[in-house]
Structure 1
Amino acid sequence: MGDKRTSNFVGTVLGRQRALFGGRLFERLRHVLWAGLISLAMFAVLLFEPVDQFLWLIQSRIADRSPSGDIVFVASDEALNDPDMPQRRYDVAAALDELDRRGVGKVFLDVTFAQSEDTRADQRLSRSIADLGPRITLVDRIVVASNGRSLVRETEPSIAGSVFRVVSDQTDRNWFGLAWELQYSYDVAGKLTPSLGAAIGGIRGANGQKFSVDYGFSQTRIPVLPIEHLFENKYRLSDGLTDVTGKTVILGHSNRVTGTQQPIPGRMDAPASFVDIYAGETLKSGRTQHIRGPIVLAFHALLLSLVVVFGGARRRRWPAYSGIVLLAPAVLFAAAKLGVRLDLSYALGFLGIYGAMRSRMRWKRRVEMVNSETGLPKLRALEARLLRETISNGHVVIAKIQNYERVLKTLRTEDKSSYVLKLVDRLRAADPNLVVYSDGHHLGWYVASDDTDDVTDHLEGLRAIFAAPVEVGGFSVDVGITFGIASIDGDPAARLAAAVAAAEETSEAHNPIAIAETGSQSDLLWDISLRARIDEAMEVGEIYCVYQPKIDLGSKTTVGVEALVRWHDPARGFISPMHFIQQCEKAGRMEHLTRYVLQSACSAGQLLHFRGQNLTMSVNISATLLGDMRIAGIVRNALQATRFDPQFLVLEITETSRISDHSVASSILEELKSTGVKISMDDFGVGSASYEAFYELPFDEIKIDRLFVSNMAKDPKARAIVASIAAMGREARITVVAEGLENPQDIGLLEAIGCQQVQGFAFSRPVSLSNLLESKDIDGMRAAANMV
């Protein structure tokens, strides 16, 4: 019981993995991953940092917070430290004395003084500094010298005495000249010196450790006191001036002093001291948080991934996409109000890159929906229109151009599109605005009328128009055209497929107009062939692979497995593989299904090898795909994606009688063999071209069709055919596999005949991957025979 629960659990997990990594969902997740990696690469090279700094400017304007009021800026509109104007040092001394008298809490003298020619002025300033004692701190400034190097400006020791010093680094700016981050302390001449901003805020930190400066405090609310009000005895609280008692005062130059301007958000010519004042206000308020780009990017990537995984339908995904995009300004606004700096640009870039990838993919699909030769939309576009506009009435008409391929062979390349367009012009005889869709020898359109008889009468009139030949390239070409009709009720896309099926059943002589019956078996088979339904089934794991073991008769061991595709529809139950594979071919989705099965089978094979079971993996390839080299690319991509050893992959070519050009097929198979895979001929012995294909194509293995294997015990002719094929295989030095072995008593016959490998219910039914992983030997295969 426990083993069964484990098996079910493994099967469920594998089913979810198939759904997660298949079709459109995998495509969208792949775009999420690539967009994230590109954004991280941009973060590594700081590509979007200017955008982030612009967003920080916006945050600073949004915040508009009130400062603490404990930090007062005493500003001078004249240069206080000009050596040629020593009398101003008396003004500074008087201002310091007045601050002392007013009971100032702390003073930061943000002006550096060199010695002047007036010794008494220097001494007067020195006494005022000394009188403030530990309440005053001198500020040294690190500036850029004329040679481009850093230069430290400091007050002469003869003036400063033993007063404590801090440093303000004016070189610690970005390329816009803004100071978004400052250090708690700086290494000045080998001595660790606190920064002015950190000293104002009363916070100490390790050397080199940085903190963000919050410019969200309103500039107009920062207390500013002209220095004249202090040394000219104009300082009266009754006049509304700022009280400095117990507060922190920064005495420095205003922005009117040449060379002291410093840009800050919202003001390009602020006093240099304002940067440190904002730093102090930031530390006092504790708003130093800075959420870096990778964290914000990861958050948006997670949200987008959740939308992609759980937003199956577009009508759910698009509102969610819009919500994520609108979330960005909302987060920016909230962070500004909370005083948290946010690196949002890389998340915005991530969303933009993802959007560009999805737009490009949608553009490619739109291009794929247009016939490149005629410029007409394909039948896929009609299907998409029916679904998009939720059309539930009217009819779908499909016109089949008879002898289409034969006519195209006789026309010049430049005349082929003209031929189809002339046919379309005739279809538009009654309605010039009719939208006609083209796909191969089919032309389709939508009719709004619900009256089937009216539609049929109209088509009879069209047939009369087509009785006259078409002039193309100077030649007169006869036209044969028949029609399939399906009324739209229920699933419109299903009715389109039913109309195509009806058109295929028509003939010019006996049945020129066929009407698809609602709920008919033909309708059902075409319904399951729809591209959208097949893609969705692969996404959610309804289409999956089971695996039937191949047994070596000599060693009685499992040497390989064959991947067989299955479809379990929740509404209809199990759908015959013969039916839905046939409909895949007619709907042009065989290549997509083959890619999906190859990916699943190679992944399963790699997992088997990882578990120590070095089995070959056989995958069926429709002979219809041997018309061009795309199948070689599909196989190569599947091997690269799964890292499965190509020597263990066997491609079984089905229905070789459908190969139209053996020379082309041979070159394609040789290209496939160059990758290391082996080629098998499936169902050998049936089909008129089997021996011709066996002779001309490079097969490494042939599989005797079950028709002969299942009857060889009771029919001497069947036994003789199996024996001759086995002998032929030995002579050609290729592996012979007997498939469809259902009776264990027939094993001895096959051994006597000399068949190397067998496959069938006598050993095992097709089993799920989870059961296959649990089976260790041939006995395990027999035990697993009834598991699927």
Structure 2
Amino acid sequence: MSDGNAFAEGPSSLEMTRGGVSKGLLGRLRHLLYAGAVALAMLAAFFLQPLDQFSWVFQSRLANHAPSGEMVFVGVPRDTVDPALDHRREALAETLRELDRQGAGKIYIDVVFDEASTPEADKALSDAIAALGPRVALVDHIERSATSGDRIERTMDAIGGQAERVASRRTANWLGFVWTKQYGYTIDGKRQASLAAALAGIDDARPGEFQIDYTIPAGDFTSIEVGSIENGEEIPNVAGRTVVIGQEESVSDAQVKVPGNYGVPPSYVAIYAAESLRSGRTGFLDGLRALTIYTFLFAALIIAVRTRKRRQIGYFALVASIPALLYVGSYIGVRMELSYCIALLVVYGLFRSRAQLKDRVAMVDTETGLPRLRALEVSALKNNLTHGHIVVARIHGYEHVLRTLARDHRSQYILKLVDRLRASDSDLAIFYEGHHLAWHSKEDDTQVLSEHLEGLRAIFAAPVNVAGSSVDVGISFGVARLDGDPATRLAAAVAAAEESSEALQPIKVAETGSRFDQLWDISLRARIDEAMEAGEIYCVYQPKVDTARGAMVGVEALVRWHDPARGFIPPMHFIAQCEKAGRMEHLTRYVLQSACSAGRLMHFRGRNVTMSVNMSATLLGDLRIVGIVRNALQASGFDPRFLILEVTETSRIGDLATAATILEELKSLGVRISIDDFGCGAANFETFFELPFDELKIDRLFVSNLTTNAKAKAIASSIVSMGREARIMVTAEGAEDEETLRILNEIGCNYVQGYVLSRPISLTNLLKFQVSDGDSALEA
């Protein structure tokens, strides 16, 4: 079975934690645990019992073995017990006398005569039974009734006399099969050996049950019709052999089936059970033990085998072992419940397929169909690339393209750029994300590669024609030699591309061990995840104050990272690196859960403030963010009416229509939406008009210059007026002195954040915060 199918190892399998443990390994073990739990639940509910029984039927036919030859079945007509047919009883009496004359061993009469016939017929049968003495045993039948429980059918004492008695339960399961037999039964307070155990020479009526092996073909048993004895025909030798007298088969009303045979005499089940005891073929591997063993073997495979090809072989071996074990079990006489092992395999495969699908979706840009930059890192790791260079092309002026071209036309624009990059190699794999295009170059000589890139820049000198319009292209390159961890080298190439300049340095080479590696090393996904788990990434909270009332009305959650080795890492750096590593959703989920839990605690303490959380505009292209927010609210129990999502970097919204749909879905949860840094960049009137915002936050550029620049004051005043007219809350951030507060109150902006009121503080200090504290509040 291929990893590329049900057991696919998604790209995440290449990620490593800082301790060297593969995150893919942890993912596989986690999915195995989930699959084991599902299989165990099925086992507890006997959910797959029908499948097991069909597998046992199959197993019973895989291998055949010969009977012991110690037992002979004598079939009598099914109407032998009819009291109106007295001649049947007389014929049975004659059969018993003939078997006695031929030296038969122990005779078991598996027919119940519970009604009297004619005195002559009953006496003839009674005398024949008495004449056999201890060599005869009568079988009492235990019939199960749906209404009255077990019902005992036994031969009359007038016929049976003092003959030994054994018992047989005649009830099959809902499929018509009997898979186990008891060693004995309790009847009228006394223990009686079962017919099956007695036939095998075990007559101590011990407790417990045993498995029945059906691998003997029914036709191999010695069988005699009673009519043959009556007619004096030659019959098989019965001297010294155990004889079972029972009713002949009847396909029309048969209640008991034998695998591979239909309409066999009911007594055959006891004969099969006795043969199983005689040969020792009563082994049984129950579902719990089989599932436990299989799970441990599966886990050992996952842990011990690290290469994909070997895992493929291991997966195939696990799948192939199911029919192999059924065959071996049939051969050695061990029945196995393996359906839950199959369930484990299937459910694990489904989990891995789902993970692979999610990874595929995350690895591909939906607009262009091109793989993302993370896919380049995965490809480099998967193919163990250690030579050549990582090249990242930076598209200049891409923000203008986003604003002016429709969505379909933007994808055409990117694909035309890709065509130009493939001018010298039509099979070149290009990876795309944001305003970056990247690929792996096999060229080891950096100088030769730089000359090639200069030639590519010449190709890009001509504008691109999109939707009937000519669009100029500006491009520069970042290059990193692939001589270390591909994730680090890709990050270094991206950093170099960001440092490049069309005019001054169109090709920037990141040297090994340069500050680019140090700057972007923290973008590795494993380090970010581990930092969150260790509490190195955490939230601090900056109060939002209503200066008119002198009361704290809200809080903004701000994320911080303090690395034990590198110290405090600026938020702008590691947030950007989260985006490069594709971990923005994970970071947002982490901050949301922390902030909502803090908000719930504030409410519990009697302070019903709003909680604002920053949300990158890059997340407004996928409805998954709605599920993330919903889950955080449900997990924390925080009232959604008090949650405000502040959309940052609105210039990076790829499609305003899609973003509007997602924001409406978020608002349907009850949360409010804020536009951050309003008045700068693309956080402008068009964005405000197209998207359903509930709050505007005046950019700190204008707030910080209120006291010194009349234009800043005029812009801030117009934003406040616009918000009042549109009935939208307006908040000013970045107020750092009392004079700024005075001007804000003068223009009607009463909701303020800034160092003049409080720096970002820890949750502990936030719970103690009073507006009058002002600058005395402890900084987190």
Relative to the length of structure 2, the TM-score reads 0.69
Please give the alpha-carbon distance, in whole angstroms, between the structure 1 residues aligned to 2:682 and 2:361.
39
Matched with 1:139 is 139
Corresponding residue SS for 2:523: coil
Alignment of 1:51 onto 2:45? no
Q: Superposition pairs for residues 379-418 of structure 1, below 5 Å?
A: 379-403=373-397
1:490 to 484, 490, 497: 484
Please give the alpha-carbon distance, in whole angstroms, between the structure 2 residues aligned to 1:30 and 1:438.
31
| Residue identity opposite 1:546 in structure 2 | C
Matched with 1:93 is 97
Corresponding residue SS for 2:73: strand
Please give the alpha-carbon distance, in whole angstroms, between the structure 2 residues aligned to 1:128 and 1:549.
103
Please give the alpha-carbon distance, in whole angstroms, between the structure 1 residues aligned to 2:414 and 2:744.
56
Alignment of 1:544 onto 2:537? yes
Please give the alpha-carbon distance, in whole angstroms, between the structure 1 residues aligned to 2:296 and 2:527.
28
Alignment of 1:619 onto 2:617? no
| Residue identity opposite 2:539 in structure 1 | V
Q: Superposition pairs for residues 302-381 of structure 1, below 5 Å?
A: 342-372=336-366, 374-381=368-375
Matched with 1:437 is 431
Matched with 2:634 is 640
Matched with 1:12 is none
Please give the alpha-carbon distance, in whole angstroms, between the structure 1 residues aligned to 2:315 and 2:687.
53
| Residue identity opposite 2:138 in structure 1 | L
Please give the alpha-carbon distance, in whole angstroms, between the structure 2 residues aligned to 1:568 and 1:303.
41
Please give the alpha-carbon distance, in whole angstroms, between the structure 2 residues aligned to 1:614 and 1:249.
88
Q: Superposition pairs for residues 170-319 of structure 1, below 5 Å?
A: 170-175=170-175, 177-181=176-180, 196-197=195-196, 202=203, 211=209, 213-215=211-213, 250-252=244-246, 263-265=257-259, 272-279=266-273, 293=287
Please give the alpha-carbon distance, in whole angstroms, between the structure 1 residues aligned to 2:641 and 2:611.
10
Please give the alpha-carbon distance, in whole angstroms, between the structure 2 residues aligned to 1:679 and 1:505.
34
Q: Superposition pairs for residues 573-612 of structure 1, below 5 Å?
A: 574-585=568-579, 589-603=583-597
Please give the alpha-carbon distance, in whole angstroms, between the structure 2 residues aligned to 1:359 and 1:545.
33
Matched with 1:517 is 511
Cα distance, 1:214 vs structure 2: 3.3
Matched with 1:14 is none
Please give the alpha-carbon distance, in whole angstroms, between the structure 1 residues aligned to 2:597 and 2:43.
34
Corresponding residue SS for 1:640: helix
Deviations 1:287-309 (A, max 9, x none): 98977657765776788789999
Please give the alpha-carbon distance, in whole angstroms, between the structure 1 residues aligned to 2:645 and 2:635.
17
Please give the alpha-carbon distance, in whole angstroms, between the structure 1 residues aligned to 2:778 and 2:64.
73
Corresponding residue SS for 1:391: coil
Relative to the length of structure 1, the TM-score reads 0.68
Cα distance, 1:451 vs structure 2: 0.4
Corresponding residue SS for 1:445: strand
Cα distance, 1:386 vs structure 2: 0.5
Please give the alpha-carbon distance, in whole angstroms, between the structure 2 residues aligned to 1:487 and 1:214.
69
Matched with 2:10 is none
Deviations 1:686-708 (A, max 9, x none): 98969999999855696996998
Note closer, same or farther for the CA distance 1:544–1:299 as it changes in structure 2 (3 Å cut): farther
CA contact (8 A) 2:595 2:613 kept: yes
Q: Superposition pairs for residues 51-90 of structure 1, below 5 Å?
A: 51-57=51-57, 72-76=70-74, 86-87=90-91, 89-90=93-94
Please give the alpha-carbon distance, in whole angstroms, between the structure 2 residues aligned to 1:415 and 1:620.
30
CA contact (8 A) 1:616 1:650 kept: yes
Please give the alpha-carbon distance, in whole angstroms, between the structure 1 residues aligned to 2:652 and 2:424.
41
Cα distance, 1:397 vs structure 2: 1.9
Cα distance, 1:625 vs structure 2: 4.6
Q: Which moved more, 1:587-596 or 1:80-89?
A: 80-89
Corresponding residue SS for 1:264: coil
CA contact (8 A) 2:392 2:478 kept: yes
Deviations 1:152-190 (A, max 9, x none): 987576543465655545441442x32124578899999
Please give the alpha-carbon distance, in whole angstroms, between the structure 2 residues aligned to 1:311 and 1:565.
39
| Residue identity opposite 1:593 in structure 2 | L
Please give the alpha-carbon distance, in whole angstroms, between the structure 2 residues aligned to 1:611 and 1:218.
76
Corresponding residue SS for 2:384: coil
Note closer, same or farther for the CA distance 1:43–1:607 as it changes in structure 2 (3 Å cut): farther
Deviations 1:519-570 (A, max 9, x none): 333343334335x446644685476323447498999999876544344557
Q: Which moved more, 1:566-575 or 1:215-224?
A: 215-224
Note closer, same or farther for the CA distance 1:656–1:50 as it changes in structure 2 (3 Å cut): closer
Q: Superposition pairs for residues 678-693 of structure 1, below 5 Å?
A: none
CA contact (8 A) 2:73 2:245 kept: yes
Corresponding residue SS for 1:565: strand
Note closer, same or farther for the CA distance 1:160–1:666 as it changes in structure 2 (3 Å cut): closer
CA contact (8 A) 2:602 2:609 kept: yes
2:645 to 651, 654, 675: 651
State the aligned residue count: 730
CA contact (8 A) 1:297 1:347 kept: yes
Please give the alpha-carbon distance, in whole angstroms, between the structure 1 residues aligned to 2:504 and 2:418.
24
Please give the alpha-carbon distance, in whole angstroms, between the structure 2 residues aligned to 1:298 and 1:306.
12
Matched with 2:9 is none
Please give the alpha-carbon distance, in whole angstroms, between the structure 1 residues aligned to 2:423 and 2:681.
45
Q: Which moved more, 1:672-681 or 1:395-404?
A: 672-681
Note closer, same or farther for the CA distance 1:29–1:559 as it changes in structure 2 (3 Å cut): farther
CA contact (8 A) 2:395 2:474 kept: yes
Deviations 1:466-499 (A, max 9, x none): 4455566677665544332221111112222322
Q: Which moved more, 1:383-392 or 1:409-418?
A: 409-418
Aligned-CA RMSD value: 6.5
Alignment of 1:503 onto 2:501? no
Please give the alpha-carbon distance, in whole angstroms, between the structure 2 residues aligned to 1:608 and 1:319.
55
Structure 2: give runs of 5+ residues left out of the alignment: 1-18
Matched with 1:108 is 108
CA contact (8 A) 1:738 1:755 kept: no
CA contact (8 A) 2:703 2:734 kept: no
| Residue identity opposite 1:646 in structure 2 | P
Matched with 1:126 is 126
Please give the alpha-carbon distance, in whole angstroms, between the structure 1 residues aligned to 2:405 and 2:686.
31
Note closer, same or farther for the CA distance 1:736–1:369 as it changes in structure 2 (3 Å cut): closer
Percent identity among equivalent residues?
44
Please give the alpha-carbon distance, in whole angstroms, between the structure 2 residues aligned to 1:330 and 1:88.
48
| Residue identity opposite 2:72 in structure 1 | V
Please give the alpha-carbon distance, in whole angstroms, between the structure 1 residues aligned to 2:731 and 2:422.
58
Q: Which moved more, 1:344-353 or 1:477-486?
A: 477-486
CA contact (8 A) 1:73 1:224 kept: yes
Deviations 1:91-114 (A, max 9, x none): 3234257768x6x5xx53124569
| Residue identity opposite 2:447 in structure 1 | D
Matched with 1:160 is 160
CA contact (8 A) 1:471 1:477 kept: yes
Q: Superposition pairs for residues 715-754 of structure 1, below 5 Å?
A: none
| Residue identity opposite 1:358 in structure 2 | R
Cα distance, 1:593 vs structure 2: 2.3
CA contact (8 A) 2:172 2:255 kept: no
Note closer, same or farther for the CA distance 1:254–1:31 as it changes in structure 2 (3 Å cut): same
Note closer, same or farther for the CA distance 1:279–1:607 as it changes in structure 2 (3 Å cut): farther
| Residue identity opposite 2:213 in structure 1 | Y
Deviations 1:734-780 (A, max 9, x none): 6979889899xx9999999998898879989754x8x78xx97569x
Please give the alpha-carbon distance, in whole angstroms, between the structure 2 residues aligned to 1:750 and 1:403.
36
| Residue identity opposite 1:92 in structure 2 | L
Q: Which moved more, 1:330-339 or 1:486-495?
A: 330-339
CA contact (8 A) 2:696 2:728 kept: no
CA contact (8 A) 1:736 1:756 kept: yes
Structure 1: give runs of 5+ residues left out of the alignment: 1-18
Please give the alpha-carbon distance, in whole angstroms, between the structure 1 residues aligned to 2:535 and 2:131.
87
CA contact (8 A) 1:373 1:417 kept: yes
Note closer, same or farther for the CA distance 1:411–1:750 as it changes in structure 2 (3 Å cut): closer
